[in-house]
Structure 1
Amino acid sequence: MSAAVETRNWLELPFDVTASILSRLGAVEILNSAQNVCSQWRNICKDPSMWRSIDMRNSGDLWDMDYDLEKMCIHAIDRSCGYLLDINVEYFGTDEILSYISERSVHLKRLRLVSCYNISDEGLSKAALKLPFLEELEISYCSISKYSLETIGRSCPFLKTLKFNLQGYRRFHLESDDEALAIAQTMPELCHLQLFGNKLTNEGLQAILNGCPHLEYLDLRQCFNVSLGGNLEKRCVEHIKNLRRPNDSTHDYEFNAEVHDTGSSDEDYPSGISDIDLISDDYDDYFEFSGASDLSDYDDYLLFD
């Protein structure tokens, strides 16, 4: 005796249920595939509510892609109709893209930039001036310094979460508290701070503890210039609910956490070389392009008609 098999028609699902399912795909999959399945899905994919969060997650193999991530991102931002709250940009970010986001998404609350070496301090600073409601910011493996961090701190008073991550170097003995001091002096409302692989010292950490009294989460993994102990460690333990120490496990860290043992003194490096130069070597092939000359010109991308 065989049981009857019930076949469900996906087109009969309520609008909000279908929208919820499709939104989990990410912007690239929606624009490249999902919206072309049928007219009903296409209409749902054009609704501004679908684009309050834009996730441009990708593999990073930019040269092997048969689509333009910049044009896709621009089209997704346009579809949000000014209601964009959350955006993730990986590998292809430029100053032009950041400007486009900030000019059309003034209510943005969350911004994530990963391996965007074509975003400059100037570009990020100009964008920050137009994003006063930003609450969460991640800058991982980008060529950004204290200058834009200072502008961000002064321009985004509601900032509660900052992730500023670099590659860890165990024997790379350059010390710098520049970023730590910029954070301490301009971001008093921070509750969550991740500084993976930063070159800050105990002095920089002290400044952060003084300037950010609301910190509940502090990630110092691979910050090998920090030596926790004595009163400094006691202060961290007493005031930070979730503390990740420099040598703590990186098993739950999203990116490659391999530590580079590159040298024991500054003599191992040519004059003027920076840590961002060292970590970006593997990505040189990806970021030699300058981006689209006219970001508003995407009518030729037929999938977006």
Structure 2
Amino acid sequence: MAIAGARPQTNTPYAPASSAELHLQVQARLVELVPADNSLLSISAREALLGPGKRVRPLLAMMAAGHVGGAAEDALDYGCAIEMVHAASLVLDDLPCMDDAALRRGQPTLHRRRGEDAAVLAAVALLNQSTRVILQTPLHIEDRLAAIDLLTHAVGFEGLAQGQMRDLRDAPGDRDAAGLRQINDLKTGALFIAAVQGGARLGGGDEADIARLTAFGEAIGFAFQLCDDLLDAYSTVEALGKDVGQDDEATFVDLWGEGRVRAAVRQSLTRAGDAVGHDSALNQYVLALFRHADLGV
């Protein structure tokens, strides 16, 4: 059943905007959604959120809305809220108590530019703002509550926070293929799944649509984490604009080797295409991202 008040399904073919057009919409909206004053907190939050980025998660949310027959704009603010969570998670992930990263997107990490205190508080502010953005959207109350439920589920005890804790603290013996997959599903997959599930719901999708998009989100979440493992092992700081060789603990590259990991990326992308259609705008967008990463897909 679709969420009350969501856009009804129609027989009108969906003519998707290009990913470049959606990216411009997201970037412009993000600028509107963060304070523009000159306080250190606002400056730090803007730097964390508005720097160069592909905006993959908000684009997926908007494309998911279009995929089920709605308009991409139905999920614009929800996608921006997802991006705020993602940006906050990167700030926290870079801290000395976690990855102690020096670079992010070609620039010094936020805690190195502005201090650890400013970085932590900017991350908290962005997490708070993500919820506030959804609460202030002109959606029916049922839609807002459902969107907040998806977002907070992806962040907390069954999402990003738990995945990061396990990535930092799981014993070496627990980092077998099953353990690493669980960490991936929590730390990376949860936000992809929330993006496409929320987009589908806000676009008026039914339960079958949401189930297909959930399978898509699970598959691409795994593929993205495998890609990240490969790039961390084999790419360079100059190519990525961030630190490499950060994974001190075992990854799938360590367990399986490069060839098998690349094969697993291809298999995951095939499953994603099976879920939503290999010729769909959603699937073609994701394939283009992986081709750009030169992973042989």
User: Is TM > 0.5 for Structure 1 vs Structure 2?
Assistant: no
By relative contact order (CA 8 Å, sep 6+), the higher-ranking structure is: 2
Q: Give the TM-score normalised by the residue count of structure 1.
A: 0.29
Structure with higher Rg: it is 1
* Higher helix proportion: 2
